[in-house]
A = this chain, B = another copy of it.
Amino acid sequence: MGEDRAGAAGLRAKNGPSGAEDAAAEAARADPLFIAAIERAMRVLETVSANHAPMSLTEIAAASGLGKSAAQRLTHTLSGLGYLRKDPETRRYAMTVRALDLAHGFLSADPMINNGLLHLIDARERNGETVNMGRLDGTDFIYVVRLPARRMNVAAALIGRRQPAYCASGGRAILSRMDPAEAEALIDSRPLRALTPMTLTDRGAVLERIEQARREGFSATDQEVLLGELAVSAPITDRNGAPVGAVQSSVSTASWTLEMVRERLAPRVMETARLISAPRY
C-alpha cells in the first residue's frame, strides 16, 4: 500500500558511484534478496516507455540516472532479449511489440477483464458511445479495456493510459466505495493539480463529489481531465463490496450536456457495472 516504488533518483554526473546513497543501493542493503541489476533494467524500460518516442543511448543514460556504461549494457541486454529494438539508422532504442505479450498475460489472467469484456461490448453496442473499464493503481486510474466510438479522443483511446484518481470519474467512482478514511488518505497523498480549467482542485470539493458518488452510485465529471469530454463512471465491486475497478463512458460536449449524461448514460453505466460485479473476485 503505502509503498512508493523507485522514485526517479537524482541524476548523476557522467559515470560514477559518487554522490549520496541511491534508491537501489538503499533497497539492496535493506533487503538481501533484492537484485539491483533488475531494478536498473526496469528503469531503462520504463524510461524508454515513458518517453513515447525512440531514445538515444545518452538520452536514456541521462533520463534514467544511470551511467553511460550501465546504459550501454542494459540497452544491449534488453535488445538481445527482444524488449528494445535499436534502429540501425538512427541508433535509437524503442519499445517492441513484446511489451504486449506481458500485457496480454495480465489481461487474460484478470477475471474482472475476462468477465467484463462481454458486458462492455454489449454496453457499447447498445448506447453507441465510448465505453471503458479501468482500475486503481496507486493514485492513478488506469484504463484496462477501451472500446472507443466516434473518432473523438484521438489517441487517448489506448490501454494503459493513466489519469489522476481525484479528477477522473473512474477514480472517484472507485474511491466512493472505499473506506472513507483510506480514500481521504489517497487524495491527500498527492497535490491536486488542475489538468483543465474545469478540474476541481479544492480538497473539500473533491471529497464532496466522492460523497455524492457514494449516494448516487455513479460519478459524473465535466471536462475535468480533457476539455470537451464528459464522463460518467460506476464502481465494480467484489463479493465483499470492495471496489476493484470502474466502468466508464465518455461523450463529447458537442452533443451532450452533464444533465443528459446524468439522466441517460449514468443508469446504463451503473447497470453494466452491476453485471460485471459478480461475486467471484
Contact = CB atoms under 8 A, between A and B. Distances in A.
A58 to B, nearest CB: 17
A39 B81 contact: yes
A52 B95 contact: no
A31 interface: yes
Identical copies in the complex: 2
Contact of A99 (B74, B81, B106, B155): B106
Residue in A109, A149, A150 with the greatest tally of chain B CB atoms within 10 Å: A109
A208 interface: no
Given A104-B159, A109-B95, A73 B5 contact: no
A59 B89 CA distance: 42
Contact of A102 (B34, B49, B53): B49
Interface string A88-108: 000000111111111111111
Given A33-B77, A39-B77, 13 more contacts: A27-B80, A34-B76, A45-B102, A46-B102, A46-B105, A51-B105, A94-B109, A96-B137, A97-B106, A97-B142, A104-B159, A107-B159, A114-B155
Interface of A: 5-6, 27, 31, 33-35, 37-39, 41-42, 45-46, 48-54, 72-74, 76-78, 80-83, 94-109, 113-114, 117-118, 121-122, 125, 135, 137, 142, 144, 147-151, 154-155, 157-162
15 contacts: A5-B81, A33-B72, A34-B77, A37-B37, A38-B78, A38-B81, A49-B101, A49-B105, A53-B109, A54-B109, A95-B105, A97-B137, A100-B144, A102-B160, A147-B148
